[in-house]
Structure 1
Amino acid sequence: MKLLALGLVLGCLSVADAAIQVDQVDVFIGGTRGHACYRVPTAVTLPNNTVLMAVESRRTTCGDQAPKDIELVRSQDGGFTWSEPVMLVGSLTGNTTYRNPYLTVVPGSSTTATPDLVLLQFVNSTLDEPWTTFQMESRDAGLTWSSAQPVNLSAWNGTLAGPGLGITLAHTHPGRIIMCGASGYHAGHSANGVVWFSDDQGASYVVSAVFPEMQECQVAELADGTLLINFRNSHLNSSCDCRAQSVSHDGGLTWGPLTYIPDLIEPVCSAGLVAANDTLYFTNPNSRDQRINMSVQSSMDGGNTWSHEVTLWPGPSGYSVATNHPNSKCTLGVAYERGEQSYAERITFAHINLCYE
């Protein structure tokens, strides 16, 4: 399905009446291949234009506590066509539950012929508490993966990453991996937003910040090295029913105070955030009280103000993740949940050309 959004100025568009081209394809459809539904997408774009998407494949029901597998698909043309799903974790049987797949690309080196590294983290909540965070890696663009190994996040092990994607810094502390997630999704635990990083390509991690009462999150890096983290926060600021955010100027070692962004309303839901040079793009159900109206908004002032909304789907829509092509200022991808009656009916990938005229 192809949609055209008119009259917007996003990223490199220079005229007010230019158009943005959006091509959308349904990648996972609930009720197929032995799974009741598919949720919580993560997606990354590699330098060679390969897009990887992983999802929770929920077996018997669509509930959060249903047995779950983690499946992966690949696109070698930027998100227009997709491979058949491959099960990375799970077996379609039993009561195993693997949650919140979370992809991160660590760019390789052309001078040393080092391939790109892709990390996949997830939580095994089948185990007794404390839940355990695991990590797998691929060095061939997602074709093959290492065995899952536990990740030691100390007191925050089992934190549900994202949902969204991790990032590798290009400016302040180049090569540092920054990830974030939320604790408190099982009984007796307080809700916290947690940030962790690695300076050794994912061999070890350090927790750098804990934000009390914050929840699902996404980090982005601007061209000057500023990091912005954006949180779901269950409407703690009821005056605007909006998102919370914090900024770091030292590569994620320390973070400033939380602020609320009235432009970014939400119905309490996960959201996507990605930077393309000095432009930030934010994706979520653009509503105060319903998971509907999946939209893209942009900010050119570091996330202080937001505008230029384009609607990808006006109906039921839920979690989303945004990914941009590292070699193009014009290409944005959004993997998101949507449907006719429920936002959990299918997962769609939108390929957005921001410089279409």
Structure 2
Amino acid sequence: MLSIASLILAACAAPPSLVQTELFIAGQGGYHTYRIPSIITTLRGTLLSFCEGRKNSRSDSGDIDLLLRRSYDGGQTWGEVQVVADHGEDTIGNPTPVIDRDTGTIWLLLTKNPGYATGEQLMSGYEAGTRTVWVTHSNDDGETWAETEEITDTTKKTDWTWYATGPGVGIQLQSGRLVIPCDHRKQGSQRSYSHVIYSDDHGATWQIGGETSLKNNECQVIERRDGSLLLNMRSNHGRNRRSIATSNDGGLTWSNISFDEALIEPRCQASLLRYTSVTQSGASLVLFSNPASSERERMTVRLSRDDGATWAHSRILHAGPAAYSCLTVLSDGSIACLYERGDADRYEKITFARFSLDWLTGES
């Protein structure tokens, strides 16, 4: 989120048009496929681009590592790939970072499961293993990371089977609370639910927050100017529209869901992010990205001027096959979207797209 001073500088500093760079390409670097992008801008302005490196196939299970590339110049150049977490032949992924503005610590929430377990087994309650919740952190802008630590006991109920953090990013509320959007399934049911976990002690401990009604899945969250939270969810209701819920108690409980009729989706992850700070006067700008179609294609970025109630502007980043995405705001006011795309297939590469607010609104 940007301060007023940053926004004033942004008009001159931000790039006038769309620039796209391939960061991870399938089949290169020792991995069959790269998936599940996540990007965040640190307090020092460093860009951290995370993804899963899937060793042997594009499957959601198997030997999957958590990878990172960093940029110190707004995405013009990138460092080599770092392995943040490698749990042998098991799956470690679903990256969801959040930055504590009070301490500067970058927390990274992850999920893990046995690499030999299929998604169907994990969702039904697999005797030999389940999805577990993990966390790591960095205090040096992502250069090094602590050993991953399991936090399943306080963040997952005993009758939950499948579990996913994010994917995308978490947020810090004005109160200081760290909030991570998640989803889960329950034992004996194939129905999915969205929920959040949170920390009120700067990441030292994590707790389960509220969950939504059924048929909601991967989600992202923002804090609105009135202090309420808006949860935007992948929907399994068969309407090809995003599900929406709100919270007035920091994510401990959630309202009944509604549907944002403007946000068409193909049942896919999406990104939701504030552009302006909740404490800033004037327009309350919110960004959203997803494949705006009934198929996984047409990666589109939208802008809301009223806290996500309506969507005033949209631009297409890639008209062809596309899937998961994650947005961030750079320190100069420009916007970046890290997303999956390809020419013949949506998982050919993960692309970093950078553009200005003027480009998004059609004013450049």
- The residue identity in structure 2 corresponding to 1:179 is I
Structure 1 distance, partners of 2:254, 2:77, is: 39
Q: Distance in 1 between matches of 2:208 and 2:325?
A: 25
Q: Per the alignment, do residues 186 and 323 of structure 1 end up closer, same or farther by CA in structure 2, a change over 3 Å counting?
A: farther
Confirm or deny: 8 A CA contact 1:23 1:80 kept in the other structure.
Answer: no
Aligned length: 324
2:286 to 258, 280, 283: 280
Matched, 1:95 2:100: no
Does the alignment pair 1:66 with 2:68?
no
What is the rounded CA distance, in whole Å, between the counterparts of 1:118 and 1:105 in structure 2?
Answer: 5
TM normalised by structure 1 equals 0.85
- For residues 226-257 of structure 1, the C-alpha deviation after alignment (integer angstroms, 9 at most, x for no partner) is 321100012x153xx20011122332233222
Shift of 1:186: 9.5
- Alignment check: 8 A CA contact 1:292 1:317 kept: yes
Whole-angstrom distance in 2 between the partners of 1:315 and 1:269? 15
Unaligned stretches of 5+ in structure 2? 1-6, 9-14, 116-127, 277-283
Match of 1:339 among 342, 346, 352: 342
Asked if the contact 1:286–1:294 (Cα under 8 Å) also holds between the matched residues in 2, the reply is yes
Which structure 2 residues correspond to residues 101-180 of structure 1 after superposition, within 5 A? 101-108=95-102, 114=103, 116-126=104-114, 128-151=128-151, 152-155=154-157, 159-170=163-174, 173=175, 175-180=176-181
- Name the residue aligned to 1:4: none
Q: Which runs of 5+ in 1 are unaligned?
A: 1-10, 13-18, 109-113
* Structure 1 residue aligned with 2:202: 201
Match of 2:183 in 1: 182
What is the root-mean-square deviation of aligned Cα atoms in Å? 2.2
Deviation >4 Å, runs of 4+: 185-189
1:157 Cα offset (Å): 8.3
Rounded Cα–Cα distance in structure 2 between residues aligned with 1:324 and 1:297: 14
SS of the residue 1:260 aligns to: strand
Q: Which residue of 2 aligns with 1:258?
A: 257
CA distance in 1, matches of 2:189, 2:52: 24
Distance in 1 separating the partners of 2:325 and 2:173: 22
1:282–1:298: 8 Å Cα contact kept in structure 2? yes
Kindly indicate whether the alpha-carbon contact (under 8 Å) linking 2:95 and 2:165 is maintained by their aligned counterparts in 1: yes
Q: After superposing the two structures, state which structure 1 stretch, 198-207 or 150-159, moved more.
A: 150-159
In the superposition, the TM-score normalised over structure 2's length comes to 0.83
Where 2:343 maps in the other structure, the secondary structure is coil
- Cα distance change of structure 1 residues 259 and 47 upon mapping to structure 2, 3 Å threshold: same
1:82 aligned to which of 71, 78, 81: 78
| Shift in Å, 1:345 | 0.5
Shift of 1:307: 3.1
Q: Which moved more, 1:185-194 or 1:255-264?
A: 185-194
Residue pair 2:298, 2:318 contacting (<8 A) in 1 also = yes
Contact 1:21 1:354 in 2 (8 A): no
- The answer as to 2:213 corresponding to 1:214 is no
Distance change (3 Å), C-alpha of 1:226 and 1:78: farther
Measure the CA separation in 2 of the matches of 1:250 and 1:141: 31
Q: Which has the higher helix share?
A: 2
* C-alpha displacement of 1:262: 0.6
Give the match's secondary structure for 2:217: coil
From the superposition, tell whether residues 20 and 143 of structure 1 become closer, same or farther in structure 2 (CA, over 3 Å). Answer: same
Question: Which AA in structure 2 matches 1:146?
Answer: A
Question: What SS does structure 2 have at the residue aligned with 1:144?
Answer: coil
Please show how residues 282-301 of structure 1 align to structure 2 within 5 Å: 282-288=288-294, 290-301=295-306
Kindly indicate whether the alpha-carbon contact (under 8 Å) linking 1:133 and 1:158 is maintained by their aligned counterparts in 2.
no
Cα 1:187–1:103 change in 2 (3 A) is farther
Separation in 2 of the partners of 1:38 and 1:257? Answer: 35
Q: CA deviation at 1:195?
A: 1.1
- Percent of pairs identical after alignment? 33
